Structure 1
Amino acid sequence: MARIGIAGIGGRMGKLLAEEIAAAGAALAGGTARGDDPAVLFAASDVVIDFTHAHAAPVHAAAAVAAGTPLVLGSSGLSDAEEAAVRDAASHVAIVYAANFSPGVNLMLAIAERMAASLPGADYDAEIVEMHHRQKVDAPSGTAVALGRAVAAGRGEALRMESGRDGHTGPRQTGTVGFAALRGGQVVGEHTLLFAAGSEHIALTHRSFDRRVYATGAVRAALWVVGKPPGLYGMKDVLGM
């Protein structure tokens, strides 16, 4: 029976994760609250799930390396330096890092990449609109950025973001991916990818109605990553896509 630890066990996601660990027949190894030493949790766990804050990601990645314990990381809004720290840690221990643990969102990412490969940026403008609850602190969302990266990958180029439009911005740039972030109420998560050409529009939308879908996916990733060799994995690996 796998022993799964939870960083930030007292939070909203932490409580859902604890319930999903029990539902999956795994053992809850324990959890941390703000100020706790993560080394103790990692030493007692076969795998740790982290949905806390972006700034904690390098600390937890280092703890994973020190204990040799795999990490499932779902924090969003990581800086380039924080992502680099996670990638470096993944050369020593298995890490599943995903912007979103919903199976539906990950299928959407795969479809977005294939659509972008067939809809060139010279003819189709790509726009991403996302909405989340009013407490979310980062924008655009990690899932929105992942969608933008999927579009760029499909087109075989680096992501060029066009966001925060305000005032006299001039015409839209060709080949960029536009982002718009909406915040309000208690929306769990909504993402729409729009390809807009002069003769047609194609929209791809995903809506989350319950945060539990993220917890279920993260526990699935945790059970999958136990025993895997060092490396940086994603939900595509977990889902066999």
Structure 2
Amino acid sequence: MVKIIMHGCNGKMGQVITRLVAEDEGAVIVAGIDTYTGIENPYPVYKSLEECEEEADVVIDFSNAKAVDGLLNMCADRKLPVVLCTTGLSEEQIALVEETAKKTAVLKSANMSLGINLLLKLLKEAAKVLAPAGYDMEIVEKHHNKKVDAPSGTALALADSLNEAAGGVYEYKYDRSSERVARDKKEIGISAVRGGTIVGEHEVLFAGEDEVIEFCHTAYSKAVFGKGALEAAKFLAGKEAGKYDMSDVIQF
């Protein structure tokens, strides 16, 4: 039984993971951390990790960037593994992640979805075959109208996966409206769509002579990210200090 501390337990994702863990026989949340305590949970909730005395195997973090420094420092001191799901970290915080990973296990990924991370692996295999054969590679990502960054971090991770498999010689093209030239063979196009309440959709196209191969992942709710975080926590519990990502969780 993996014992979890849920950091950011009263946020949307914290509550999603709380529900998922309640239905999982292999894990239990022993405590939650959140500055907002107006939600009833089946475990004690503290305003800071320093106040928490419960023994745990791993922390799942879905909080905000302002809370990450204190979390990482405390996990390093306690040698407590942490699944870091908070996005929008500064360069200084990314450096702190690297330092923390020298003292305890840290798992950080651009997207916690098991499906997306499986897709990253599949794309590498596809690109090894199709890129040398001259297939053009394009990515179209769609998100809700409240998302402020474009392209998404996941789209960039997909592009990096393609580029790595293809030898790292491709450049990313975000906008073709400012120039009227034929498509460069050594570019990966990335297009962003924003509208409605789209949770997340990523489509990768390999366009060749007289055929198109498409890979598509659609998230219908935030639960897919919670499920991935939970599986990552089970994986990370008991691991030695070091930096991990979802590719370590998904093995084939």
TM-score category, normalised to shorter length: 0.7 to 0.9
**CA distance 1:56–1:153, change in 2 (3 Å):** farther
* C-alpha RMSD over aligned residues: 2.6
Provide, for residues 24-75 of structure 1, a one-character-per-residue CA deviation record: whole Å limited to 9, x for no partner: 24133112237x5444459754311122335654543333212211111223
**CA distance 1:220–1:178, change in 2 (3 Å):** same
Distance 1:239 1:62 in 2: 28
Provide, for residues 152-206 of structure 1, a one-character-per-residue CA deviation record: whole Å limited to 9, x for no partner: 1211226632214443364433322221121211111110011223433221101
User: One-letter code of the match for 1:100?
Assistant: N
User: One-letter code of the match for 1:215?
Assistant: G
Q: How many residues align?
A: 240
What's the TM-score, normalizing by structure 2? 0.83
1:22 matched residue in structure 2 = 22
1:191 matched residue in structure 2 = 202
1:7 matched residue in structure 2 = 7
Larger Rg: 2
**Any conservation in 1 of the 2:118–2:250 contact (CA below 8 Å)?**
no
Find the residue that maps to 1:15 and give its secondary structure. Answer: helix
What's the TM-score, normalizing by structure 1? 0.86
1:123 matched residue in structure 2 = 134
**Any conservation in 1 of the 2:17–2:230 contact (CA below 8 Å)?**
yes
Distance 1:197 1:180 in 2: 19
**Any conservation in 1 of the 2:61–2:84 contact (CA below 8 Å)?**
yes
Unaligned 5+ segments in structure 1 are none
**CA distance 1:56–1:121, change in 2 (3 Å):** farther
Percent identity of equivalent pairs: 36
**CA distance 1:160–1:77, change in 2 (3 Å):** farther
Unaligned 5+ segments in structure 2 are 37-46
Q: 1:48 aligns with which of 53, 56, 59?
A: 59
Deviation, 1:131, is 0.9
Provide, for residues 102-160 of structure 1, a one-character-per-residue CA deviation record: whole Å limited to 9, x for no partner: 22222211110111111226822221111112222332222211111110121122663
**CA distance 1:156–1:53, change in 2 (3 Å):** farther
**CA distance 1:210–1:67, change in 2 (3 Å):** same
Find the residue that maps to 1:229 and give its secondary structure. Answer: coil
